[in-house]
Structure 1
Amino acid sequence: MQTFQNKIALITGGASGIGEIMTKLLLKKGATVLIWDVDDRNFNRLQSSYGALGTLALFKVDVTDMQSIHTTAKKVINEYNGVDLLINNAGIIVGKYLFEHTIADIDKTMQVNANAPMHVTHAFIDSMMERNSGHICNIASSGGLLANPKMSVYVASKWSLIGFSESVRLEMEQLNKNIKVTTVMPYYIHTGMFKGVRSKIPILDPEATALTIIKAIEKNKKMVTIPGYMYRLIRFAQAILPITIFDWLTGKVLGVYHTMEHFTGRPTRD
């Protein structure tokens, strides 16, 4: 993307967490930022805090509601001629063993984390292709690379998102379209969404994470893990180690399989 000056950026789940921080960073870089969020309680605060930095528009949108997505997408396309940057950031986690999930828990997690990015992207991809310009950034998770207890449904949703994101990138390249796709896979971030997580690997700072994501978009990076060594470490270890040894290293030595034991979090977008 190179520059955000005078660009239209849309962030789902942008009213809190790293979505809010990315909003601030993009406004400072000259972008018009559109926030889609199901929780509008922070809208007045966001407008007061960041409205002076640039043009900020707030839309109450439930990304599990197809009618809400497509109605609001049409409004955005009509008013702003589409978006230059789409960041699919909205996400939730339940943080329980599978048998403790309700059917609603499973469906909601998949709807928000996996289905919503597909539907929101689908709502804007035609206008991007018509202009032959745009950038899509999907915020997945390192959980999309690595199985973990008490995260089975969350992990499934993020594996799905990584596969979707990479496939769309390849489709755009195959069609010779000037539409870039960045897949981001962060480790745990120190926000309310992951409250209670304990980890030997350092938990990520939200400000630094948001800045890394924005820089990755500027540089048109295809895949980004945060920290940067995560992808190579996981894939290399999975490739060379027997499963029992990999589980021992990941679970006993690094303690990853125990990170969710004290999780409290909150089952809302962050």
Structure 2
Amino acid sequence: MKYLKEKTVLITGGASGIGKIMLRLMLERNAKVIIWDINQDNIDQTISEFSENQNLFGFKVDVSNPEQIQETAKKVKKEIGVVDVLINNAGIVVGKFFNEHSTTDIAKTMEINAIGPMYVAKEFLKDMLSQNSGHICNIASSGGLISNPKMSVYASSKWALIGWSDSLRLEMKQLGKDINVTTIMPYYINTGMFDGVKSKIPILEPEAAALTIVKAIERNKKMVTIPGYIYRFTRFGQAIMPINIFDWFASDVLGIYKTMEHFVGRKK
């Protein structure tokens, strides 16, 4: 969506991390911004920080709860109007070996990271189809491109998100609709979510990552990895290398398979 001025943008997980930075960048572009977040305190603090701006709205929503999504979507449409740009940003991670996961860990990760974006998009896609205009941006992960120990469930949720997101893009194209879909696949971002991660590849700074995402929306990009070489490396490497060689290169040379060894995550 080339012009964001006066467009209505909804960001899930918008009261912290890159979601909060993206809301600021959208306000700077004179967009109307709606944030959905599960943490009411963070919502209140964020609204307070931008209190001089009358184009920011906040709602407490658990994106793993379809009833909450439906109810809040109706409220948004009634009180604010049609959503032009949806950014599915909310996400969680549980950094453990698979055998250490509880059934709740598994269910919540899949519900928030993979199924939630579908539920949210479904609520706002109808209006986009009716006006033949809109943009859906799904924040996946480079973990959706490459397997990684202690990320099995998280990676599977992001693999699912990538598959759905790009399939949705193709569906809009086949239907002849002017609705763009952007899939974002960033490396680790220094927001606290992945505290403890050690990486030979530089960990991303939130401000730069958020700006890259907003620019990708403005330029109607289809699939974006941050940094850009991640996609080329994984796809090319997986294509030409036997699995054992790729595993050695990813683990011993790049250190990717060892990044989660000291993971602690965001403090509660």
Under TM normalisation by the shorter chain, which class is it? over 0.9
1:33 aligned partner: 33
Change (3 A) 1:15 1:117: same
1:87 to 2:80 alignment: no
**Cα distance between partner residues in 2 of 1:128 and 1:103:** 36
Give the SS at the match of 1:58: strand
Structure 1, residues 23-43: CA drift from partner, whole Å, max 9, x if none? 110011101110000111112
Tell me which amino acid in the other structure corresponds to 1:128: M
Counterpart CA distance in 2 for 1:22 and 1:226 is 15
Q: Is the 1:109–1:157 contact (alpha carbons within 8 Å) kept by the matching residues of 2?
A: yes
**Cross-structure match for 2:223:** 223
Q: 2:3 matched to which residue of 1?
A: 3
Q: What runs of 5+ residues in structure 1 fail to find an aligned partner?
A: none
Match of 2:151 in 1: 151
Asked whether the equivalents of residues 31 and 54 of structure 1 are also in contact (C-alpha less than 8 Å), the reply is no
Partner amino acid, structure 2, of 1:172 = M
Q: Is the 8 A contact 1:195 1:266 kept in 2?
A: yes
The equivalences for 1:102-117 within 5 A come to 102-117=102-117
Equivalent residues of 2:43, 2:60 under 8 A apart: no
* Pairwise CA RMSD: 1.1
Q: Report what 2:173 is aligned to.
A: 173
Q: Alpha-carbon deviation of 1:76?
A: 1.3
Q: Which residue of 1 aligns with 2:259?
A: 259
**2:77 maps to amino acid:** I
AA partner of residue 204 (structure 1):
L
Aligned equivalents of 1:166 and 1:267: distance in 2? 33
Amino acid at match of 1:15: A
Q: CA deviation at 1:47?
A: 1.5
Q: Does residue 190 of the first structure (1) align with residue 190 of the second (2)? A: yes
Unaligned runs of 5+ in 2: none
Question: Is residue 19 from structure 1 mapped to residue 1 from structure 2 by the alignment?
Answer: no
Q: Give aligned-pair identity as a percent.
A: 61
Q: Runs of 4 or more off by more than 6 Å in structure 1?
A: none
1:49 aligns with 2:49: yes
Q: TM-score, normalised by structure 1?
A: 0.97
- The residue type paired with residue 124 of structure 1 is F
Distance in structure 1 (CA, Å) of the matches to 2:14 and 2:117: 14
CA drift at 1:54 = 4.7
In structure 2, the residue matched to 1:205 is 205
2:89 is aligned with 1:58 = no
On the 8 A contact 2:193/2:266 being kept in 1, the answer is: yes
Give the aligned residue type for 2:159. Answer: W
Residues matched between the structures, number: 268
Contact 1:187 1:227 in 2 (8 A): yes
**Higher normalized contact order (CA 8 Å, seq sep 6+, divided by chain length):** 1
Query: In 2, are the aligned partners of 1:28 and 1:53 still within 8 Å (CA)?
Result: no
| Superposed displacement of residue 145, structure 1 | 0.2
